[in-house]
């Protein structure tokens, strides 16, 4: 029986995941490419809304992102870089709340002090739950 046409692929994995794949291949005496192919066939579905949503969740939670900046300016050094996005904080200070809602800090403090914005004053400093602010903004805050 002929094997299906294969395409080469090079990926960089975080060290923990690479070691996990190595151990998995050793435990079941399989090639890593066969394990990856099976996982893709079983878990990746870019043809349904649910599958696309699941893939987006994985991509957003995943490691570093490559950023490429293109320019016609000859004085700019060209290249690329990687960064690892950090998860947003669940608890924000007034500055963080202002950044999230794209308003100035004074507006955040005034709304909080008037009881119009969900938050708590702790030791004289306001703290806000990110999710509560987003629900408040959407008009879906819980009672």
Q: What confidence tens digit (pLDDT) does each residue in 18-48 have?
A: 888 889 889 999 898 888 888 888 888 888 8
CA atoms within 13 A on the CB side of 106: 0
Q: What's the full length of the chain, in residues?
A: 143
Specify if 121 maps to a domain: yes
Specify if 26 maps to a domain: no
Band the pLDDT of 51: cuts 50, 70, 90: confident
Hey, how many other C-beta atoms are within 10 angstroms of the C-beta on 97? 27
The span from the CA of 10 to the CA of 131, in Å, is 38
Specify if 29 maps to a domain: no
Specify if 52 maps to a domain: no
The per-residue pLDDT for range 67-86, each reduced to its tens digit, is 556 666 666 666 666 666 66
Band the pLDDT of 135: cuts 50, 70, 90: very high
Range of the domain at 121: 91-138
pLDDT on residue 94: 96
Give the total number of structural domains in the chain: 1
- Torsions phi, psi for 100 (to 5 deg): -60, -45
pTM: 0.43
pLDDT at 99 over 90: yes
Specify if 134 maps to a domain: yes
Mean pLDDT of the chain: 82
Specify if 66 maps to a domain: no
Specify if 128 maps to a domain: yes
Query: Rounded to 5, what percent of the chain is helix, strand, coil?
Result: 45, 15, 45
Helix (H) / strand (E) containing 122? strand 120-122
Specify if 143 maps to a domain: no
pLDDT on residue 15: 81
């Amino acid at each position: 029986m002929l094997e299906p046409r294969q395409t080469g692929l090079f990926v960089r994995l975080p060290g923990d995941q690479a070691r996990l794949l190595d151990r998995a291949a050793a435990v079941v005496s399989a090639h890593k490419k066969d394990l990856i192919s099976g996982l893709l066939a079983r878990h990746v579905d870019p043809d349904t809304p649910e599958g696309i949503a699941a893939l987006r969740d994985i991509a957003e939670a995943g490691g570093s992102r490559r950023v490429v900046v293109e320019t016609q300016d000859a004085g700019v050094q060209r290249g690329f870089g990687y960064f690892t996005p950090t998860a947003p904080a669940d608890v924000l200070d007034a500055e963080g709340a202002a950044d999230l809602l794209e308003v100035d800090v004074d507006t955040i403090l005034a709304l909080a002090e008037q009881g119009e914005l969900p938050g708590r004053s702790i030791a004289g400093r306001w703290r806000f739950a990110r999710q509560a602010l987003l629900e408040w903004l959407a008009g879906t805050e819980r009672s």
